[in-house]
Structure 1
Amino acid sequence: MTELEHESPFKFPCQFPIKAMGKNIPDLDAIIVALVRRHVDNLSENAVRTRLSKGGKFIAITVEVEAQSKAQLDAIYTDLNACPHITMTL
């Protein structure tokens, strides 16, 4: 185990929900899934959930992954936060 993994409260591998939100534009879910797939090989189709805001202006997308390490999660969030269509990640 690396020093970074010792700092994490998670025990890897583990199921981890990655959440990203943005304006409800066409294919935002596909954009997010493509970014996550850069780092996760075995992402299933039922791993993705979407939820529109009350007014339909924004969308929240959750992708459940089997995280292998803190470094993997950090890389996913770095890519997601660099995307101009994503306004927030959790």
Structure 2
Amino acid sequence: MSEQQPPKIEFPCPDYPIKVIGHNADDFRGFVIETVQIHAPDLDITQVTVQDSRNGRFQSVRFTITATGTDQLKALHTELMASGRVQMVI
């Protein structure tokens, strides 16, 4: 039985979806947007959505970017996680 490989992403990949989850704070959305714009300056902030968790403890910020390569995605993930404010990037 062969192991299934994840699908390959072809770059540039427009409309690449990302979800960032962190502790709910008034400035969490702004923090995520500022960080993402460093790595994806074409981010359309009008398309950014925010949703609080059921108990209000966490917040998810969803958006799409034009992913230019694995280096860009790794750098974005690393910077978000290094902040200590982000619990997960999907």
Provide the TM-score with structure 2 as the length reference: 0.84
Query: Distance in 1 between the 2:23 and 2:39 partners?
Result: 24
Q: Report the number of matched residues.
A: 84
The answer for the alignment partner of 1:13 in structure 2 is 12
Deviation per CA, 1:47-85: give whole Å up to 9, x if none.
311111111111011121011111111111111111111
Query: Distance in 1 between the 2:77 and 2:68 partners?
Result: 14
Identical aligned residues as a percent: 29
Query: Distance in 1 between the 2:86 and 2:59 partners?
Result: 10
Q: 5+ unaligned residues in a row in structure 2: which ranges?
A: 1-6
Query: How many Å apart are 1:32 and its aligned residue?
Result: 0.7
Query: Distance in 1 between the 2:44 and 2:89 partners?
Result: 20
* Greater Rg over alpha carbons, structure: 2
The answer for the alignment partner of 2:74 in structure 1 is 74
